[in-house]
Amino acid sequence: RHGIAVPVSDVVVPLLAAGSEGPG
């Protein structure tokens, strides 16, 4: 991993996990 060229899923998955645990 070069830091900039990261897979979309590697960024979307954590966001979805944090969102589901947040309000809702």
Q: DSSP per residue over 1-24, as a string?
A: --SSS--HHHHHHHHHHHHHHS--
Report pLDDT for 1: 56
The model scores a pTM over 0.75: no
Dmax (CA) of the chain:
34
Per-residue pLDDT of the chain (24 residues), as tens digits, is 566 777 888 888 888 887 776 665
pLDDT of residue 7: 82
Q: What is the reported pLDDT for 6? A: 76
pLDDT for the residue numbered 2: 63
Torsion of CA 2, 8, 13, 15, to 10 degrees: 90
